[in-house]
Amino acid sequence: MTKIFVTIIVSLFFIGNTEAQLGGLIKKAKDKTTDTKPASNTKTETPATTPQPDKTNQPAESESKPAAKQEPAKPVERNLIWPEGSPYRVASDAPSSPLHDKYVGKLVFANQQLTPENTKEAIFKGSFNIDEPIYARVYIPTAVKNYVLYSDNGKGSNGWENNYGECSLQYTVDDDQTVVVLKNFRRDKDTRGWISWQYFISATGENAEFNEERFVKHMNSLSDGEHSIKFKLWAGGIAGRSSISPIATGEIKINKLPGKKMKLGRGWGLYKAAMSNPALEKQMVDVMKEKASNDGWKETFSKAKIIDKDWYTVRNEYTGIILARTINALVYAKWPDGHCTVQEFNFKQDWNGSAWSKNLVFNGVGNQTVIDCD
């Protein structure tokens, strides 16, 4: 009996001791967990997760379910003209005539000059024979400088200042959507405030120098009959920057008559000589004929006009000793395809110490211009 009692006492001792040890282990485990738990304000690299909706008793999502509709991005605000108060604006000229309000945003046309003094509605025309002169005048509501330019030919989103008052006159023929640039201009300084000016489409006399050869060739290539020419004037149009819409438009009819042509309006007689020396002029033509033959040029030279009033003396840069003399002239030429040109050339005569050489030589080339053939 005594042994049984002792056994029970010992068992209870071990059981109590085991529980105490187990409790200590559990406490240590809890303490370890507490030590490794990050503080609530500690930052981690784990991205925040988006709370998921409770899908209890919800039907399974189908893969073909359309995506949620997104609202389109708000379009970028684009302006035709800089707003009032913008530093990019300039003051505009007053309307050039009472016709301005009536034809604002338009190009008007006539077969005579449309200067501020003689522009009258009575002379406006909408139809021309191909061999008639054609002049145009544009009316816009504000200075060309005040229009906003956008890259990508007006389709971009960033606005640019039209600092040089650039504008571009373009046209299409009949139903062809091909856009052709007739004239590009940079209206510098005080002209940036202009709201009306004249264009020479097919001018005559001294203004014929502004006619565009490519336009004349294009018109002469059209079939016989009436053709519609639509014009659009854009602010900018140079270096890929333009207004978002045309600032003026206009339309004319051109009647291509059989056997008739549009002329450039400038011929050999338009150019004036500064010096008359038939013997020297003949020498110049002979020099250019030889030059063309030696270099394989296609044009045939036939006459010259001296455009300098006197020779220019060439001296040694350091000693001042005379070396040669030079002079400029225009030389007329006809090409195999029938068109004619006038081109500036420089000629030289050497100095031998006591006299000028009788040998005239080619010394340089200048601009070439297509003109009407004589």
pLDDT of residue 11: 45
Mean pLDDT by 10 residues, the chain (374 residues): 42 42 37 35 32 39 51 68 93 86 97 93 97 97 96 93 94 94 90 94 90 94 97 94 97 97 91 96 98 97 97 95 97 95 97 94 95 90
Pairwise CA distance, residues 305 & 284, whole Å: 9
**Residue 197 Rama label (left phi>0; alpha psi -120 to 50; beta):** beta
pLDDT of residue 1: 44
Q: Pick from 332, 325, 350: which is nearest to 281 by CA?
A: 332
pLDDT of residue 15: 41
Q: Pick from 149, 232, 144: which is nearest to 188 by CA?
A: 144
pLDDT of residue 10: 41
Q: Are 38 and 44 in contact (CB under 8 A)?
A: yes
CATH class of the region 99-256 = mainly beta
Within 13 Å and on the Cβ side, how many CA atoms surround 60? 3
DSSP annotation of 358: S
Whole-angstrom CA distances from 198 to 120, 175, 179 are: 13, 27, 21
Pairwise CA distance, residues 359 & 373, whole Å: 30
Q: Are 332 and 268 in contact (CB under 8 A)?
A: yes
User: In the structure, how many helices (H) and strands (E) does the chain have?
Assistant: 5, 16
